[in-house]
């Protein structure tokens, strides 16, 4: 209806703007923006609904069921939970998987990462960059992306995704309910004919990733406005960065040590999964039920960036920053170009996540190819039987959205007494809160809130691709927003509603 809506001219009260989705809505992010007396942003809060009750739910269950159970919690990244949980079981039973089992796990995991990153880049991030942040709302969606890149590219993405998923199903049993991982290995070896299929698809996936990187170059990097937006101060935070690295400090999604670098890019921590509690702590705020992760040795200093603040971030940009490079040749080239273009390491520009995701897509595809070509992949020895009594285990993988930690404590029979999950979005929660506030401060002032400004605020958190709990199959499917402007007494002085068709109404 209208592109803009003014808040009530009310200079005497602090007001609260709530950007709140309204249909199955709990599942989505919610933003509260508090305005001061002049109508400028005082504070802004981003809330991600968090699933409740996991710890209680896990108590009394067999630890060995957790890879199946935890993968069912979330329809978005079941494979990540499955793999983190399987690795936690390795640690719980102090058993090491045979080489072929590790290769199979990493192969399936790389396939999953490639699928997830491809979908995110084209269909979720695409509206911001491929279509553009200032395009009309009606075009800022997946159809707008396809209109811009062409139907054949869309068909290519869908076909690639389907083939990658078929591979996961081939080995994992089911995509949403994988039955691949067991403590000490995997459920079944890979047959020669399966290996051949992986080789074929992996080769195509590498080509697909190269093609995607080219699209990024053509559409984003050749557009000065986009590059300026990426490096703009509004979307920049100097925090610590965390990610798994291999023995050569290169990005690894499946295994390795967790490395943390300072805002200057200096290594400040490197630890194995079981030590995570020495490094990661959780901060609680009265206004949110999300636990904000921070670096324990540095401490919680509030929502501020810099080396003195324990706030860190995870996800593609953080992984690239926390590593010294990529383990595959083409991804390494893309990595170098990324840092050359954006002014050296580390890159602090949140929107760099979209580019970093494409670099990782290329790595995932190349890594798939390496593992698919490995003659040891079809070794029938894929299980080391556990003999130790269980007590405690921690497993860490890099989920598409960042470092994912599963931690179980059990009795001698392997029945869970205590369980803890730290999901990627928690690792980013503090930085996301800062991003949203900074974007809101830079974009909203003088009592006027426009839809375009809200888009920019949303962009600030979309780059992290925060996980929205149960909202995996939202209905009607689009995300209507409700913005309430309130005074200190809680009286609503104005409502701005954005419907699922993108139209904006003022009630």
Partner 1 sequence: MASSGGTRTEASTVTDPAWPNAAGLSAPAGGPVPIRVLCLGNDLLADDAFGCLAAEHLRRRVPGAVDVVFSTDGGFSLMDHLEGVKLLVVIDVVMTGKADPGAVSVFRGEDLRSAPGGSPHYVGLFESLALGRMLGLPMPEEVVFVVVEAADCLTIGGAMHPAVRSALPAVTERVEEIVGR
Residues 51-110, interacting with partner 1 (CB under 8 A): 51-54, 56-57, 69, 72-73, 75-76
Q: Each residue of 296-306: b (16+ CB within 10 Å) or e? A: bebebeebebe
Least CB distance to partner 1 at residue 501 (A): 4
> Please, which residues have CB within 8 angstroms of residue 192's CB and are 6 or more apart in sequence?
378
Q: Which of residues 419-458 bind partner 1 (CB under 8 A)?
A: 455, 458
Least CB distance to partner 1 at residue 35 (A): 23
The single residue among 88, 239, 474, 485 that binds partner 1, judged by CB under 8 A, is 474
Is 26 a binding residue for partner 1 by CB under 8 A? The answer is yes
Give the torsion through C-alpha atoms of 240, 245, 250, 252, to 10 deg: -110
Return the H-helix or E-strand segment holding 43: strand 41-47
Contact segment (CB under 8 A) with partner 1 among 216-224, 396-404, 424-432, 465-473 equals: 465-473
Is 416 a binding residue for partner 1 by CB under 8 A? The answer is no
- Three-state DSSP at 339 gives helix
Nearer to partner 1, 41 or 145 (CB): 145
- The site that binds partner 1 (CB under 8 A) totals a number of residues, namely 74
Phi, then psi, of 294 in degrees rounded to 5: -150, 170
Q: Which of residues 345-404 bind partner 1 (CB under 8 A)?
A: none
- The residues pairing with 231 across neighbouring beta strands, listed in sequence order, are none
How, if at all, do strands 312-313 and 240-245 pair?
parallel
The single residue among 263, 346, 469, 494 that binds partner 1, judged by CB under 8 A, is 469
The single residue among 7, 16, 18, 28 that binds partner 1, judged by CB under 8 A, is 28
Least CB distance to partner 1 at residue 329 (A): 28
Of 495, 496, 463, 502, the C-alpha closest to 479 is 502
Is 199 a binding residue for partner 1 by CB under 8 A? The answer is no
CA 432 to CA 235: how far, in whole Å?
10
> Please, which residues have CB within 8 angstroms of residue 483's CB and are 6 or more apart in sequence?
17, 18, 19, 20, 449, 454, 495, 496, 497, 498
Contact segment (CB under 8 A) with partner 1 among 16-24, 93-101, 240-248, 410-418 equals: 16-24
Q: Which of residues 144-183 bind partner 1 (CB under 8 A)?
A: 146, 151, 154-155, 158-159, 161-163, 165-166, 169-170, 174-177
Is 227 a binding residue for partner 1 by CB under 8 A? The answer is no
| Contact predicate 360/251, CB 8 Å | yes
Q: Which of residues 311-340 bind partner 1 (CB under 8 A)?
A: none
Is 1 a binding residue for partner 1 by CB under 8 A? The answer is no
CA distances from 320 to 79, 88, 99, 241, 363 (A): 22, 25, 26, 9, 11
Strands (E), 316-410: 392-399, 402-410
Contact segment (CB under 8 A) with partner 1 among 89-97, 124-132, 265-273, 307-315 equals: 124-132
The single residue among 25, 242, 327, 364 that binds partner 1, judged by CB under 8 A, is 25
Q: Which of residues 477-506 bind partner 1 (CB under 8 A)?
A: 477-481, 498-503
Contact segment (CB under 8 A) with partner 1 among 300-308, 372-380, 432-440, 470-478 equals: 470-478
Of 443, 444, 451, 439, the C-alpha closest to 506 is 451
Sign of the C-alpha dihedral, residues 199, 200, 204, 207?
positive
Of 462, 469, 480, 484, the C-alpha closest to 235 is 462
The single residue among 16, 102, 103, 140 that binds partner 1, judged by CB under 8 A, is 140
In this structure, how many other beta carbons lie within 10 angstroms of the beta carbon of residue 370? 16
Nearer to partner 1, 160 or 258 (CB): 160
Nearer to partner 1, 32 or 451 (CB): 451
Nearer to partner 1, 161 or 369 (CB): 161
């Amino acid at each position: 209806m209208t592109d803009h809506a003014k808040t009530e001219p009310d200079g005497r009260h602090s007001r609260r703007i709530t950007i709140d989705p309204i249909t199955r809505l709990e599942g989505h992010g919610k933003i509260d923006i508090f305005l001061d007396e002049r109508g400028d942003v005082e504070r802004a809060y981003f809330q991600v609904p968090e699933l409740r009750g996991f710890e209680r739910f896990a108590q009394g269950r067999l630890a060995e069921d957790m890879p199946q159970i935890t993968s069912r919690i979330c329809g978005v990244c079941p494979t990540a939970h499955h793999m983190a949980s399987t690795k936690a079981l390795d640690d719980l039973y102090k058993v090491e998987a045979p080489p072929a089992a590790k290769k199979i796990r990493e192969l399936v995991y790389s396939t999953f990462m490639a699928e997830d990153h491809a979908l995110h880049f084209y269909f979720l991030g695409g509206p911001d960059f491929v279509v553009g942040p200032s395009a009309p709302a009606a075009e800022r969606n997946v159809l707008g992306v396809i209109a811009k890149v062409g139907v054949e590219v869309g068909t290519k993405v869908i076909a690639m995704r389907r083939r990658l998923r078929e591979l996961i199903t081939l080995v994992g049993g089911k995509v949403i309910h994988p039955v691949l991982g067991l403590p000490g290995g995997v459920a079944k070896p890979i047959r020669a004919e399966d290996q051949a299929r992986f080789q074929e698809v992996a080769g195509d996936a590498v080509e697909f990733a190269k093609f995607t990187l080219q699209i990024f170059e053509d559409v984003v990097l050749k557009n000065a406005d986009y590059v300026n937006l990426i490096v703009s101060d509004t979307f920049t935070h100097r925090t610590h960065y965390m990610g798994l690295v291999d023995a050569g400090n290169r990005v690894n999604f499946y295994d390795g040590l967790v490395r943390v670098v300072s805002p200057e890019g200096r290594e400040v921590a490197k630890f194995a999964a079981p030590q995570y509690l020495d490094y990661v702590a959780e901060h609680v705020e009265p206004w949110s039920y999300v636990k904000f992760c921070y670096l324990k040795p540095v401490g919680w200093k509030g929502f501020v960036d810099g080396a003195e603040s324990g706030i860190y971030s995870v996800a593609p940009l953080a992984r690239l920053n926390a590593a010294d490079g990529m383990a595959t040749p083409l991804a390494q080239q893309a990595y170098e170009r990324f840092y050359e273009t954006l002014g050296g390491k580390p890159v602090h520009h949140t929107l760099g996540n979209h580019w970093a995701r494409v670099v990782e897509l290329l790595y995932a595809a190349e890594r798939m190819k390496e593992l698919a070509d490995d003659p040891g992949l079809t070794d029938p020895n894929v299980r080391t039987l556990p003999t130790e009594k269980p007590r405690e285990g921690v497993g860490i993988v890099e989920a598409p959205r960042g470092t994912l930690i599963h931690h179980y404590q059990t009795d001698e029979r392997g029945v869970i007494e205590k369980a803890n999950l730290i999901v990627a979005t928690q690792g980013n929660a503090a930085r996301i809160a800062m991003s949203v506030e900074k974007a809101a401060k830079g974009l909203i002032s003088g009592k006027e809130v426009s839809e375009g400004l809200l888009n920019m605020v949303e962009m600030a958190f979309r780059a992290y691709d925060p996980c929205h709990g149960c909202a995996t199959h939202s209905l009607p499917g689009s995300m209507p927003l409700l913005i309430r402007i309130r005074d200190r007494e809680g009286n609503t002085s104005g409502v701005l509603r954005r419907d699922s068709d993108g139209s904006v109404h003022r009630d």
